[in-house]
Chain A
Amino acid sequence: MPGSATNHIDKPLVIAGREFSSRLIIGTGKYKDYAQNAAALAASGADIVTVAMRRVNIGNPDEPMLVDFIDPKKTVYLPNTAGCFTGEDAVRTLRLAREAGGWSLVKLEVLSDPKHLYPDMEETLRAAKMLIDDGFEVMVYCSDDPVFAKKLEDMGCAAIMPLGAPIGSGLGLQNKVNIRLIVEQTQVPVIVDAGVGTASDACVAMELGCDGVLMNTAIAEARDPVRMAKAMKHAVIAGREAYLAGRMAKKLYADPSSPLAGLI
């Protein structure tokens, strides 16, 4: 029955057979400290955080560890390959991540020019193949090109993650047409990764039918990151609900909301 409460329950987000209640994924970079990061995570309601792999600081083995602030048993760690510019670098990094954490769900990103951090799609395709052959479940950061997105899906990637705008730019979705084309053609989750600047950007991504949004800088570099994390939680829910509700038709002229009949 339309309007009944049972109709308003959303399906969970399912990635590689795992269910997640939140459709927001947040990064763990650029925060003032790990404590602020953990507070933002709590405010965001996210189930998944992206993390990076880096060398241990040999001179200071007692430095704060991310795992001491965000418990990998409660929050899914999604290791990324940020900073990798070749397929081999990315595969090497994620094999280490799998050994450190014991999980095979990963985020692949193979970058090109540091100026725009656009994904090198040729290397991304090659690395995705290597990782899938090695048993990884690959969520892949990619350009917003529907042709590449299809190739990555056909190869067996667990989620397609097109950029909305360059990483860290906060410019919002630059090509809604392409994001929508990717959403329409893709059977696995589509998650906008990069480019969100504020809550309305996340909302737009969800209204287009994306299955989720991944962001880091929009929260970490807000004046109040914890409050922005809360805003993003609501934006993703609002955009998702609006998408499921189906928006009204746009009209060229006004249409009064109050009945005209019975005017005094």
Chain B
Amino acid sequence: MLSLSKDDEADNAPNMNITLNGEPHIMAQNTSVAGLLAGLGIALAKVAVERNLSIVPRSQFESTQLVDGDKIEIVRFIGGG
């Protein structure tokens, strides 16, 4: 399902396509990892983010800008054995 992330800084910017947790996702250009998470309503402290198979450290969520074609994985702890 396609959804649009909100990012105040990028209201007027054109959109770009990324792959988010394996699904196509359309979002405004010039969005940071932190902006993506905020737009999705995901608490930063509870997840880890991978961009194109490299981990994005939490300290770099704000400074890491996403670009068209990025493959993003957002994961968290769940129950398991």
Q: Contact residues of A with B, CB < 8 Å? A: 27-31, 34, 37, 50-56, 58-59, 61-62, 65-67, 72, 77, 79-80, 82, 92, 95-97, 99-101, 167-168, 216-217
Q: A82 to B77, alpha carbons, bound, how many Å?
A: 12
In the complex, the chain B residue whose C-beta lies closest to that of A100 is B48
| Nearest CB in chain A: distance from B44 CB, A | 11
Q: How many whole Å from A222's CB to the nearest CB in chain B?
A: 14
Q: How far is the CB of B38 from chain A (nearest CB, A)?
A: 11
Contact with A along B23-46 (1 / 0, CB 8 A): 101000000000000001110001
A51 closest partner in B (C-beta) = B77
**Known interface pairs A58-B40, A62-B41; 16 further A-B residue pairs with C-beta atoms within 8 A, sorted by A's residue number:** A27-B80, A27-B81, A28-B78, A29-B80, A52-B79, A52-B80, A53-B75, A54-B76, A58-B3, A58-B20, A61-B41, A65-B46, A80-B81, A96-B50, A168-B81, A216-B80
Q: Does B67 contact A (CB under 8 A)?
A: no
> How far is B65's CA from A90's CA once the two chains are assembled, in angstroms?
27
- Kindly state the separation between the CA atoms of A82 and B75 in the bound complex, as whole angstroms: 14
In the complex, chain B residues whose CB is within 8 Å of the CB of A37: 79
Please name all residues of chain B whose beta carbon is closer than 8 Å to the beta carbon of A80 when the two chains form the complex: 80-81
How many chain B residues have a CB neighbour from A under 8 Å?
28
Pull 26 A–B residue pairs with CB atoms less than 8 Å apart, ordered by A: A27-B80, A29-B79, A29-B80, A30-B81, A51-B78, A54-B76, A55-B22, A55-B74, A56-B21, A56-B40, A56-B47, A58-B20, A65-B76, A66-B76, A66-B79, A67-B46, A77-B77, A80-B81, A82-B80, A95-B55, A96-B48, A96-B75, A99-B58, A168-B81, A216-B80, A217-B81
Cβ A52 vs Cβ B77 within 8 A:
yes
For residue B1, which residues in chain A have a CB less than 8 angstroms away from its CB? 59
Name B54-69 residues within 8 Å CB distance of A.
Answer: 55, 57-58
Q: Please determine whether B53 and A92 come into contact, CB atoms closer than 8 angstroms.
A: yes
Which among A72, A77, A82, A97 is the interface contact of B48 at CB below 8 angstroms?
A: A97
Given contacts A55-B22, A96-B55, contact A67 B42 (CB under 8 A): no
Q: A54-B75, A56-B75, A62-B41 are in contact. Are A28 and B47 (CB under 8 A)?
A: no
Q: What's the least CB distance linking A103 to chain B, in Å? A: 11
Q: B51 CB to closest chain A CB, in angstroms?
A: 12
CB distance from B26 to the nearest CB of A (A): 13
A170–B50 Cα gap in the complex (Å)?
Answer: 36
Kindly list the 4 A-B residue pairs having the minimum CB-CB distance in the complex, ordered from nearest: A52-B80, A216-B81, A27-B81, A100-B48
Closest to A56 in B: B74
Write the nearest CB–CB distance from B69 to chain A, whole angstroms.
18
